[in-house]
C-alpha cells in the first residue's frame, strides 16, 4: 500500500509556491512599514502554556490539541496558534519589551485536530502580529487597518470587517448574566455545546455555528449596553478611529471569537469568496493574558490570518503574474560537447541566470522536447559545428527565432536580456 500524507495536511506543490511567496513577502514588507519585527518560536510548547493561555473550555484546548508525552515524560503540544507562544517569549526575554512595547510578527504552521474540509486543515499556516504594551485604542484601529492594508496589497477581493467588544473582567459577568437571562428559556432547544457553555462560559454560546441554535439568538439584548464605562469608551474610540482612517466595518455583537483571552475589542475579516470557512483573519485585544501567564500586567492586541485561505482566494480571483525567472535550457549535441556546456551552466548560474541541462540526452530533438516540457524560455544549442567556430546558438522559444553568438559572450548577452529587463 502506498503511503499518503496524514488527513487534514497538504503538500504545497511548486506550482502554488508563487502565491505563498507573494503572501509571505508582502506581509514582511507591510509589517516592516508598521515597525514590527519577526520572531520565531518553537512548533511545540509545554501543554500547560495553551491550557492556561487559551482557556480549558475552548474547543481548541478541550478537543483539538495535538498533545503527546515526550520521552522525558513532559506533556507537549503542537502549537494550535501563535499568541500564547509570543506572550511566553515576551515574558521570558525581557529585552523584547525594554521600550515597554514589543511589536512582533510570526509565520508558520499551526496544528488543530479539526474535521477537515475546504479551507480547514489539521496543519495550516498562520501569519500574525502581536502588539504588546499599548493600551490606546489607536492601536486596535491601527492593527485592524494594517490587516486590511496587507490584504489590499495582496490583492484579496471581497473582504469585510466585523468588530465587537467582549468587555473586561469588570463588565463581562454582567454581560454573561444578561445573556443567560435571554437564553435560559430556550436552553432545551440548543445543542449540547451551548448547554455546556451556558454554565461555563455563556458568552461563547454566541459563537455556535449550529443554524438551529442561531435562530434563538435573534433579538439578543445589546451587549454593548452592558459594557463598563472604560470598555464603552474604548470601543467608541476604536469605532471613531476606524472611521477616521476610512476603514469600512460592521459592528457584530455576536462576534465573541473562540479563544478565552480576549478583552474589549474582537474583530474578524471574512471573504465572500470562501465557502463555510470564510474567516481569513481574526484577532483582538488581550489585556489580561500576559499577567495571567506570569508577566507584568501589560495590554496587547493582535491578529492572525490563515495563509491557506488567502491562497485559495488569490488562486481563484487574482491575476498575480508568474514572476518566475526565465529558464535557459542548455542543449549540447553529442557527447563531446557536454563538458563545455556543463561549464557554461556554471558560468550562467554564477551570473545569476537560471539554467538546466539534461545529462542523459545527446540528440537535439529530444532535448528540445524536454526544454518544452520544462517551459524553458531560451535554449542554447551547442553542436560540433558551433564548437569548431567557437559559437553557440541562442534560440528564443517564445518568439521562435534563433541566432548564433560567440560562446564567450553568451553569458553577458543573456544577462543583458534577462536581468536588465
Ligand atoms: P483564530 O481565529 O483561531 O485566531 O485563527 C486565525 C485564522 O487562522 C483564522 O481566521 C483562519 O483564517 C486561520 N485558521 C484557523 N484554524 C484553521 C484551520 N483549521 N485551517 C485553516 N486555517 C485556519 C487565532 O489563532 C489568534 N491567535 C489570533 C490572534 C492573534 N489574536 C490576537 N492575536
120 C-beta closer than 6 A to ligand 1: yes
Q: How far is the CA of 117 from the centre of ligand 1 (A)?
A: 15
pLDDT bin (cut points 50, 70, 90) of residue 196 is confident
pLDDT of residue 99: 87
Q: How crowded is the C-beta side of 230, counted as CA atoms within 13 Å?
A: 11
Ligand 1: residue of 130, 160, 306 to mutate (most ligand atoms within 8 A of CB) is 306
**Residue 121: CB within 6 Å of ligand 1?**
yes
The strand order across the sheet containing 37-38 reads: 37-38, 102-111, 123-132, 300-306, 279-285, 265-271, 159-165, 250-251
- Residues 280 and 306: beta-carbon distance below 8 Å: yes
Find, among 86, 84, 233, the residue nearest to 168 by Cα. Answer: 233
The whole-angstrom separation of Cα 124 and Cα 113 is 11
282 lines ligand 1 (CB under 6 A): yes
pLDDT at 322 over 70: no
Q: Is the pLDDT of residue 53 over 90?
A: yes
**What confidence tens digit (pLDDT) does each residue in 159-188 have?**
999 999 999 999 999 999 998 998 888 889
Lowest-confidence segment of 109-118, 147-156, 198-207, 227-236 by average pLDDT: 198-207
| Among 259, 200, 254, residue whose Cα is nearest residue 64 | 259
Q: Grid coordinates in use for 310? A: 488567502
Q: Whose CA is nearest to atom 2 of ligand 1?
A: 282
CA of 125 to the centre of ligand 1 (A): 9
Q: CA 259, CA 87: separation in Å to the nearest integer?
A: 15
2-6, 318-322, 383-387, 406-410: lowest mean pLDDT where?
Answer: 318-322
Amino acid at each position: 500500500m502506498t503511503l499518503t500524507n496524514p488527513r487534514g495536511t497538504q503538500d504545497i506543490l511548486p506550482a502554488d509556491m508563487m502565491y505563498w511567496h507573494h503572501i509571505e513577502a508582502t506581509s514582511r514588507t507591510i509589517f516592516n512599514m508598521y515597525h514590527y519585527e519577526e520572531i520565531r518560536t518553537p512548533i511545540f510548547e509545554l501543554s500547560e502554556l495553551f491550557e492556561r493561555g487559551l482557556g480549558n473550555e475552548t474547543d481548541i484546548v478541550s478537543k483539538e490539541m495535538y498533545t503527546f508525552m515526550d520521552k522525558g515524560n513532559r506533556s507537549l503540544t503542537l502549537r494550535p496558534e501563535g499568541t500564547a507562544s509570543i506572550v511566553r517569549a515576551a515574558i521570558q526575554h525581557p529585552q523584547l519589551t525594554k521600550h515597554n512595547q514589543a511589536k512582533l510578527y510570526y509565520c508558520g504552521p499551526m496544528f488543530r485536530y479539526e474535521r477537515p474540509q475546504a479551507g480547514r486543515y489539521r496543519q495550516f499556516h498562520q501569519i500574525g502580529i502581536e502588539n504588546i504594551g499599548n493600551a490606546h485604542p489607536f492601536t486596535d484601529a491601527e492593527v485592524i487597518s494594517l490587516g486590511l492594508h496587507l490584504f489590499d496589497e495582496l490583492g484579496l477581493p471581497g473582504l469585510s470587517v466585523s468588530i465587537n467588544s467582549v468587555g473586561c473582567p469588570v463588565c463581562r459577568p454582567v454581560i454573561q448574566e444578561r445573556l443567560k437571562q435571554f437564553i435560559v428559556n430556550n436552553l432545551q432547544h440548543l445543542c449540547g455545546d451551548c448547554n455546556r457553555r451556558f454554565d461555563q462560559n455563556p458568552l461563547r454560546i454566541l459563537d455556535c455555528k449550529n443554524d438551529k441554535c442561531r435562530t434563538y439568538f435573534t433579538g439578543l439584548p445589546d451587549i454593548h449596553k452592558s459594557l463598563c464605562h472604560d470598555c464603552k469608551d474604548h470601543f467608541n474610540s476604536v469605532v471613531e478611529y476606524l472611521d477616521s482612517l476610512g476603514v469600512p466595518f460592521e459592528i457584530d455583537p455576536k462576534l465573541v471569537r473562540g479563544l478565552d483571552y480576549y478583552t474589549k475589542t474582537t474583530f474578524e475579516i471574512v471573504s465572500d469568496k470562501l465557502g463555510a470557512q470564510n474567516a481569513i483573519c481574526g484577532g483582538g485585544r488581550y489585556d489580561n493574558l500576559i499577567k495571567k501567564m506570569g508577566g507584568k500586567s501589560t495590554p496587547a492586541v493582535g491578529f492572525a490570518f490563515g495563509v491557506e485561505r488567502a491562497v485559495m482566494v488569490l488562486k481563484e480571483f487574482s491575476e498575480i503574474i508568474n514572476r518566475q525567472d526565465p529558464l535557459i535550457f542548455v542543449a549540447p549535441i553529442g557527447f563531446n560537447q557536454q563538458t563545455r556546456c556543463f561549464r557554461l551552466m556554471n558560468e550562467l548560474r554564477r551570473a545569476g541566470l537560471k539554467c538546466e541541462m539534461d545529462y542523459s540526452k545527446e540528440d537535439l530533438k529530444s532535448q528540445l522536447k524536454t526544454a518544452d516540457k520544462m517551459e524553458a524560455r531560451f535554449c542554447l544549442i551547442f553542436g560540433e559545428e558551433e564548437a569548431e567556430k567557437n559559437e553557440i546558438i541562442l534560440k528564443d522559444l517564445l518568439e521562435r527565432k534563433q541566432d548564433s553568438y560567440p560562446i564567450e559572450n553568451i553569458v553577458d548577452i543573456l544577462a543583458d536580456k534577462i536581468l536588465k529587463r
